[in-house]
Amino acid sequence: MVYFLDGVILMKLAELVGPLKQLDVFSKLSDEQLMMIIEGADRVVFHPGNVMIEDGQSGDAAYFIVVGLVERLAQPDVGRTREHFGHGILVGEMAMLVDHVHASTVRAKSEVKALKISRSILYQIMGSDPAIADSFIQTIKSRLNIMVERIKEIDSTLEAAESASFETAMAVH
């Protein structure tokens, strides 16, 4: 099977398996499972300046960038305000799995050709192959465990700072 975008033959679908497998969320899936996702995905094209994902908007899909460059515009209080990404990345990942409101805007910097992996298609595929759902569950659990460990580290740091601040305050009085 050939992968078409705007009438141009880009690559064979099977050539997208390797790049998807490099992504954490898809890394544990078999080539056959990834092909199911690729075949179910919509092929989309964004022109320079087109918004793919909008801050504050609900999302229902992720975009795997096949060709092109995108720019993420974050809220200024989040840290970096602009980041650029190219082919081989997945944007809006959480939206393909669960109800999600985006925290930043992503727009095309150049012509972008992407696979749009919608939540509804992904759920259909998971329904036909529960091992895919299990893989996503394991990935999410792993990420949550990492987040819990980070929160514990932050909590320990805050406790140490509060304790030192209290001891300093007591020493002054």
Output the six-digit token pair for 67: 């060709």
Write the single-letter amino acid at 105: T
- Stretch 66-76: mean pLDDT: 84
The alpha carbon of residue 136 and the mean position of all alpha carbons in its chain are separated, in whole angstroms, by 13
**CATH class of segment(s) 2-172:** mainly beta
pTM of the entire structure?
Answer: 0.73
Kindly list the domain boundaries of the chain, sorted by start residue: 2-172
Q: Mean pLDDT, the chain, as a whole number?
A: 82
Write down the pLDDT at residue 53: 93
**Are the CB atoms for 4 and 42 separated by under 8 Å?**
no
Q: Measured between alpha carbons, how far is 93 from 106 in angstroms, rounded to an integer?
A: 12
Res. 11: pLDDT tops 50: yes
Write down the pLDDT at residue 64: 94
Write down the pLDDT at residue 140: 74
Q: Distances from the Cα of 107 to the Cαs of 34, 63, 141, in angstroms?
A: 26, 11, 30
Write down the pLDDT at residue 80: 53
In the chain, what percentage of residues exceed pLDDT 90? 37
